[in-house]
Amino acid sequence: MNILNLIKIALKALRKNKMRTFLTMLGIIIGVAAVITVMAIGAGSKESIRSNLSGMGSNMINVMPVMNEPGSVRMAGSSMQTLKQEDVEAIKKLNSPNIKGISPVVASSGQAINGINNWPTSLVGVSPDYLDIRQLKLKDGIVFSEADVKSFAKVCLLGNTVVKNLFPDGENPIGKVIRFNKIPFQVIGILAAKGQSNFGQDQDDIMLAPYTTVQKRITATHYLQSIYASATSETASEAATGEIKYAVRESHHLAADEDDDFEVRTQTELLTMISSTSSLLTILLTVVAGISLLIGGIGIMNIMYVSVTERTREIGLRMSIGAKGKDIMLQFLTEAIIISITGGIIGVVFGIVVSKIVALILNWPVFISEISIVISFLVCGVTGIFFGYYPAQKAARLDPIDALRYE
């Protein structure tokens, strides 16, 4: 019996019980739709995180202080006084081809004030290289210079959120003098909007100023809270990290057997950690969704067993006129595969629609990959063959005489 005849007979048999066929498909439809949706949300979240981290500076390297005392617990904290300007100079002296930018960072929280308008925000003291490292761009104005850093100039750049709250009437902030914790700062530039990060942080709620000004006028400290650097490329990040560690250890006069009193992190490490966590969660949710496919497959097996029982006399009649056991088995196996594949097609369409609705209503990032659709079809095909095989084999093993006598 050729494949075309098998499909015709299978479709005719399935049309006789339309509602039962649809209910059998329902488990497959729900399972495939759930798998497609979960994988789309997982892939979308991972891509969104990758894009967000790249927007923060994909080649960024962050040097942070840690507590390093014998018998104590290693603790990270911006209050540790292990990083200083000498460390920045030590890194610069390397003249490494793997490092293209370096900036000290000193931050303080406080109230920004313009007339009767005020807004709680963060003032971050940096060098001009910071904008390139963090891939920040100017919307208007200019960036402070190295001369401003050396002269402790009271100038600043404002993020979009700060501008909206300090200048609600749309007044141009450039050239205006605002106050931060009672210290006057002249606004010389406006940062281009970056929006909210994946971690819920408003990237536009920020003020930037020369780090020397923040140290002298705001925090009254001589140490740095962190050091930001940028590798020339992602492939150069590992080499740049090693060179920075060497330079800072030399600057801190650490012996070979002494632990670092600082730590160096890269965006690549953070991305790898977050991606692995996201992938694990996606796999877990996909497995849970895949249980629906298993239930759908059991439903197919159950219905095919019922179908074999109902059509026992038909099987006996076909065998009596020459049909072989292989033909009978292929007929029922084809029916199971058609149910599974058709349910898979409907499930894929339904999953895509649900993913789009999730993205539209909940504003979650989704990314529907071709591989998830291909996997769904393969799983549906395997499900139809696996769960349809045993009922089909039972039908093929029926004795034609007993089958004709079956009531």
**Rounded to an integer, what distance in angstroms lies between the CA atom of residue 5 and that of residue 10?**
8
pLDDT of residue 67: 61
Q: What is the phi-psi region of residue 265: left when phi exceeds 0, alpha when psi lies from -120 to 50, beta otherwise?
A: beta
Mean pLDDT per block of 10 residues along the chain (407 residues) reads 73 82 85 84 74 64 74 49 89 91 94 94 95 90 94 95 93 95 94 75 90 93 91 85 92 88 79 68 72 79 82 78 80 85 88 88 80 79 82 79 63
**Rounded to an integer, what distance in angstroms lies between the CA atom of residue 131 and that of residue 120?**
22
pLDDT of residue 78: 47
**Rounded to an integer, what distance in angstroms lies between the CA atom of residue 300 and that of residue 385?**
10
Residue 175, token pair as written in the block: 């050239």
Cβ pair 218, 123 in contact under 8 A:
yes
pLDDT of residue 244: 93
**Rounded to an integer, what distance in angstroms lies between the CA atom of residue 157 and that of residue 188?**
6
Cβ pair 262, 248 in contact under 8 A:
yes
**Rounded to an integer, what distance in angstroms lies between the CA atom of residue 141 and that of residue 217?**
23
- The full DSSP string for 287-318 is HHHHHHHHHHHHHHHHHHHHHHHHTHHHHHHH
User: Residues for the chain: how many in total?
Assistant: 407
Residue 392, token pair as written in the block: 């089909």
**Burial class for 7, CB neighbours closer than 10 Å (0-12, 13-18, 19+):** middle
**Burial class for 224, CB neighbours closer than 10 Å (0-12, 13-18, 19+):** buried
**Rounded to an integer, what distance in angstroms lies between the CA atom of residue 326 and that of residue 393?**
9
Angle at which helices 370-396 and 18-57 cross, to 10°: 150
Q: Which residues pair with 180 in a beta bridge?
A: 112, 183
Cβ pair 39, 372 in contact under 8 A:
yes
Residues 6+ apart with CB under 8 A from 103: 126, 127, 128, 129, 130, 133, 211, 227, 228, 229
Helix/strand/coil for 230 = strand
Q: What are phi and psi of 34, to 5 degrees?
A: -65, -40
Beta carbons within 10 angstroms of residue 133's beta carbon: 24
Q: What does the DSSP 8-state code read for residue 218?
A: I
**Could you tell me how far CA 404 lies from the centroid of its own chain?**
61
**Could you tell me how far CA 180 lies from the centroid of its own chain?**
36
Q: What does the DSSP 8-state code read for residue 184?
A: E
The amino acid that residue 53 corresponds to is L
Question: pTM of the entire structure?
Answer: 0.62
**Rounded to an integer, what distance in angstroms lies between the CA atom of residue 383 and that of residue 379?**
6
pLDDT of residue 91: 93
pLDDT of residue 19: 86
